[in-house]
Structure 1
């Protein structure tokens, strides 16, 4: 079967014994309790990863072994939800077999789709597991329809997750020019870079999310109390300094405060804030977005439960009342409680200068 034929067949076929929906809520599962919290509170799909460098949230204490994945798949499928496995880092020349073995495990365990970034791993999947549904990860950095259509033609990709740097107008143009399902981020921490192309962390720690699955690896993170205030450091490099009572964010280079000029100190690259698309739900559905993704596999089951519950209610309300939909203040307040910096933004979706 050629890749285009494979893509068409997969797109027409239902997920493994799980009914597809016209607009899916895709939620993070960094652990089995988080997976159950997402499914119990209304997620249509959950995404997870193995406990190694094959996924972009490779933090100690997170992720799944094979037994936990099998348990999670049973739990999700029993309740009508799908399970995606993220194998979304790039195989390294020293040990590409780790990624191939992970893909074999995904197929053997019966996941509903794998989320891939590397073309070589996609080709391996096509050759070894032709019936496995393939999604293009946000780490694949496909920001235009030509790139997405290339992945479909070559590897049979049936869904693509867009990087969080596109405006709504740009998302619309992509959807109009590709048959591939489009998934966008709807809530969670932002990334100022085009995902898959960021190596900032490696300049300070030697490890980046694209190669080791970690942005600012925990082993390099330190918070230090000093006479000038609490300091956050990454591998010894000062990222930020906080006043008494001020929330101390996780130290990443893109979200640090820096001395700019002679007397200015501010978030020169990106502020710590969360994307929140509650007010855009009817617009996203109307333009043909296939799925809304929540960021946060590194977050707690309580976070997953709270965000999933709010978004499930909001999505259902938008489907039932598309012309009378309005984001409820209680929804916004609930999501702001778990937002980064307890504040939200529409990010690149809303660009007032366009």
Structure 2
């Protein structure tokens, strides 16, 4: 059986961290095969979402119905792995029922925690399911300890996922001033925004990922073959143009190429690349990070298996012998194969300013 969690009520009053180094590996699943791949390759926890706007990866053909979740929870728990449900979009005032129903379903099916962003939904969970473990989603945009402690005091959250805009020193400062467990992103698509605050997709399409669950909704995406090359557009806005044979990514405004000078067309906001923090594992562990999150619920089971296996080996080696830990060349090569643009970065973790 999986290692049990304390309830969020108990954790709210816990002022000391767990004994010994703990660094959970939290892996994505957009389908039942992906969930099983994560479990089989060493994930400690797997996070997933329902097939609706209650989660921030609401793509057609992705996510779980209730039967698949029940199957996945059973499969994971039999192998000592925990399941988290992401309910990390924001309910609308005219119809909060789907989000509240999703919380009820999560409890009924036996998930180990729910990942929430909306304070109103947290309040509903606390009132109706006081023993349910609550994690603050990265979509909650908590970038400082005051915000995290507010959610702890008001709703009893026991873990917070930090946005990918903080330096290592800032992460350390947050951990030093809260008893809430801190989870950080370790690998996957890099977001240069403070998650939960990006309005780019909403500006162009009228649908925010915070409410509809999709950045660049598929219905607004169009591809056109032109004499100048293949074009990708979002609600009519030209995002990128690709030369013959050039790899074409899914069109999002933040990763489009634009005219930034008289003779320069480049990635003006963010270059397609993946965050990869393998080399930072000893530092993250020493400062007290509780969990490493892998991004990619929209990716294939093969991606999940490959990335989970590498990170399982790396975390185990780091915890066993942190002073002699170093990322293996084979690990980095394996991750680069599935990275955006086949390149990686340390992102904000390594920026020279604070």
Q: Deviations over 1:55-114 (max 9, x none)?
A: 000000011111111110000000000000000000012211110001000011110000
What is the CA distance between 1:264 and its match in structure 2?
A: 1.6
Aligned to 2:80: 80
Distance 1:303 1:310 in 2: 11
Q: Secondary structure of 1:83's partner?
A: strand
Distance 2:283 2:40 in 1: 27
What is the CA distance between 1:244 and its match in structure 2?
A: 2.0
Distance 1:167 1:301 in 2: 31
More displaced stretch, 21-30 vs 143-152 = 21-30
Contact 2:12/2:153 (8 A) holds in 1: no
Q: Check if 1:90 corresponds to 2:90.
A: yes
Q: Check if 1:24 corresponds to 2:19.
A: no
Q: Secondary structure of 1:53's partner?
A: coil
Distance 1:139 1:162 in 2: 9
Q: Secondary structure of 2:245's partner?
A: coil
Aligned to 2:4: none
Q: Deviations over 1:117-150 (max 9, x none)?
A: 0000000000000000000000000000000000
* TM-score normalised per structure 1: 0.95
Contact 1:141/1:162 (8 A) holds in 2: yes
More displaced stretch, 42-51 vs 92-101 = 92-101
Q: Check if 1:8 corresponds to 2:12.
A: yes
Distance 1:32 1:210 in 2: 25
Distance 1:90 1:273 in 2: 28
What is the CA distance between 1:7 and its match in structure 2?
A: 3.5
Aligned to 2:298: 298
- The size of the alignment, in residue pairs, is 347
User: Which residues in structure 2 correspond to 1:99-110 (within 5 Å)?
Assistant: 99-110=99-110
What is the CA distance between 1:8 and its match in structure 2?
A: 3.1
Aligned to 1:60: 60
Distance 1:169 1:325 in 2: 21
Aligned to 1:192: 192
Contact 2:8/2:131 (8 A) holds in 1: no
Contact 2:8/2:133 (8 A) holds in 1: no
Give unmatched runs, 5+ long, in structure 1.
Answer: 15-19
More displaced stretch, 293-302 vs 202-211 = 202-211
User: Which residues in structure 2 correspond to 1:253-268 (within 5 Å)?
Assistant: 253-268=253-268
More displaced stretch, 160-169 vs 258-267 = 258-267
Q: Secondary structure of 1:47's partner?
A: strand
Aligned to 1:210: 210
Q: Deviations over 1:147-169 (max 9, x none)?
A: 00000000000000000000000
Change (3 A) 1:132 1:353: closer
Distance 2:8 2:237 in 1: 48
Aligned to 1:278: 278
The runs of at least 4 aligned residues of structure 1 exceeding 4 Å deviation read 3-6, 9-12
Distance 2:268 2:117 in 1: 29
CA RMSD of aligned residues (A): 1.9
Aligned to 2:3: none
Aligned to 1:114: 114
Q: Check if 1:172 corresponds to 2:176.
A: no
Aligned to 1:287: 287
Q: Deviations over 1:175-195 (max 9, x none)?
A: 000000000000000111100
What is the CA distance between 1:352 and its match in structure 2?
A: 2.9
What is the CA distance between 1:6 and its match in structure 2?
A: 4.5
Distance 1:108 1:11 in 2: 30
Q: Secondary structure of 2:322's partner?
A: coil
Q: Secondary structure of 1:323's partner?
A: helix
Distance 2:229 2:215 in 1: 25
Aligned to 1:69: 69
Q: Secondary structure of 1:310's partner?
A: helix
* TM-score normalised per structure 2: 0.95
Give unmatched runs, 5+ long, in structure 2.
Answer: 1-6
Distance 2:152 2:102 in 1: 22
Contact 1:223/1:233 (8 A) holds in 2: yes
Q: Secondary structure of 2:127's partner?
A: helix
Contact 1:10/1:158 (8 A) holds in 2: no
What is the CA distance between 1:245 and its match in structure 2?
A: 2.0
